[in-house]
Amino acid sequence: MTAVDTAVDTGPALADRILGGWLGRIAGNMLGKPVEQGDVWTRDRIDRYLRAADALPLTDYLPEPAGDDDPPLRPEWRSCVRGRIHGSCRDDDVDYAILGLDLLETHGFGFTTEQVGELWLRRLPYLQTFTAERAAYRNLANGLKPPLTATYDNPYQEWIGALIRADIHGWTSPGDPRRAALLARRDAVLSHTGNGVYGAMWAAALIAAAFTAPTVRAAVDTALTVIPAGSRLARTVRRALALHEAGLPWEDALDTLAEETAGLGWIHTVPNAAVITSGLLYGGGDFTRTIALTVRGGLDTDSNGATAGSVAGVMTGAASVPAQWKDPLEDTVRSAVFGFDGVSIGELAERTRCLARLDA
């Protein structure tokens, strides 16, 4: 599938799926945010934490810390654990989705990579950028142009930053994964190269495919068609598919994938794509199980939970996202993007739907 393989409903069903994508991204991000430090909060440590709190199976946001035996959670944890959530926390995983929406509303689908950079400088505070995005921002401020912004003094070129910026291109290209991937690539090359760019293309295509794919497996298969088959990202995603198809338990599959991607680091695109793929496959289309397994998989937990949640939310639709995930968000987003702090999730989804419908 490289284009719309079934008719995309541009009415209430599309609106529900786009809202589901936004809710899924935000809820998955919030679920993973307290343990977002993959070199400390390993998969085993996350599960020990949950077991001690009698929170396995995980069916809600993370519980509060029960004692002092574990490493500290992220400083934002008090606004991200069950019983304490009143709207979403600010996070770059959501900021970039908002920036992407603003980009398309401002420049349309013919936007240039240079315009992406200009928007960052106008809308996004420098200290709310990280790794490859911060390197690219600094390069922009120093007068460099793409593609030098991605390559000059930037050791993070294949990390996960471009992947987390891709959702808007999938949400606005429902059923057209190749178009979504091309848009995501134009965005990604501002700050990334190689597997960093392929990760953005893969994620955008995965989300676009989720609107029409009959199964999660079909969406993952489709997303693979937009990136080079010989890339390390494609080989790792295919490996995750093969392990699932062979019937390996989720834990054993992740052990194997971790061994085969060892040395890349916990923020690199490739091992995180393995965690996302496994969460989606073993989640089996169930929203709660998908984001829970993805976050329990460790590494960049909030980014992975956000992407898996976006895919699952598109596939199920907002109406089918369980209340324990969406109700605490109170239809409110905190954001560092100038002009968007406190915006309604419903408003973001409706503005996204208008873009998707106009280009359908």
Mark out the alpha helices in 76-166 (DSSP H runs).
92-107, 113-123, 131-141, 148-151
Are the C-beta atoms of 202 and 274 separated by less than 8 Å? no
Q: What is the pLDDT of residue 233?
A: 98
Is a pLDDT exceeding 90 seen at residue 344? yes
d(CA 235, CA 116): 30
Percent of the chain with pLDDT over 90: 94
Is a pLDDT exceeding 70 seen at residue 360? no
Is a pLDDT exceeding 60 seen at residue 3? no
Are the C-beta atoms of 154 and 167 separated by less than 8 Å? no
Residue whose pair of structure tokens reads 């926390």 in the numeric block: 89
Strand (E) or helix (H) holding 263: none
Average pLDDT over residues 22-49: 97
Tokens of 22: 């936004």
Phi-psi region of 141 (alpha: psi -120 to 50; beta: other; left: phi over 0): alpha
Q: What is the pLDDT of residue 169?
A: 98
Q: Is residue 3 part of a domain?
A: no
d(CA 283, CA 281): 5
Residue whose pair of structure tokens reads 């295919």 in the numeric block: 238
Is a pLDDT exceeding 70 seen at residue 274? yes
Return the CATH number at 282: 1.10.4080.10
Residue whose pair of structure tokens reads 């596939």 in the numeric block: 315
Average pLDDT over residues 249-274: 98
Q: What is the pLDDT of residue 166?
A: 98
62 by Cβ neighbours in 10 Å (0-12 / 13-18 / 19+) ranks as buried
Range of the domain at 140: 12-64+76-358
Q: Is residue 6 part of a domain?
A: no
Q: 199-217: per-residue pLDDT in tens? A: 999 999 999 999 999 999 9
Which 3 state secondary structure label does DSSP give 340?
A: coil
Average pLDDT over residues 335-352: 97
CA torsion 168-174-179-184 (nearest 10°) is 20
Q: Is residue 7 part of a domain?
A: no
Residue 270, CA distances (Å) to 68, 121, 217, 220, 240 in order = 33, 28, 18, 15, 11
Is a pLDDT exceeding 90 seen at residue 67? no
Q: 85-121: per-residue pLDDT in tens? A: 999 999 999 999 999 999 999 999 999 999 999 999 9
Q: How many domains would you assign to the chain?
A: 1
Q: What is the mean pLDDT of the chain?
A: 95
Q: Is residue 350 part of a domain?
A: yes
Q: What is the pLDDT of residue 236?
A: 98
Q: Is residue 4 part of a domain?
A: no
Q: Is residue 70 part of a domain?
A: no
Q: What is the pLDDT of residue 7?
A: 57
Residue whose pair of structure tokens reads 């069903």 in the numeric block: 13
Are the C-beta atoms of 253 and 246 separated by less than 8 Å? no
Length of the chain: 360
Percent of the chain with pLDDT over 70: 96
Tokens of 342: 């406190």
Question: What pTM, to 2 d.p., does this model score?
Answer: 0.96
Average pLDDT over residues 329-333: 98
d(CA 187, CA 205): 14
Q: Is residue 197 part of a domain?
A: yes
pLDDT-derived band at 1 (thresholds 50, 70, 90) equals very low
pLDDT-derived band at 4 (thresholds 50, 70, 90) equals very low
More confident residue, 5 or 178: 178
Residue 315, CA distances (Å) to 18, 20, 121, 227, 318 in order = 9, 8, 34, 22, 9
Tokens of 333: 């987003």
Q: What is the pLDDT of residue 66?
A: 80
Are the C-beta atoms of 183 and 204 separated by less than 8 Å? yes
Q: 120-164: per-residue pLDDT in tens? A: 999 999 999 999 999 999 999 999 999 999 999 999 999 999 999
DSSP notation for 197-246: HHHHHHHHHHHHHHTT-SSHHHHHHHHHTTS-TTSHHHHHHHHHHHHHHT
Nearest alpha carbon to residue 222 among 280, 288, 160: 280
Tokens of 102: 């603003």
Q: Is residue 2 part of a domain?
A: no
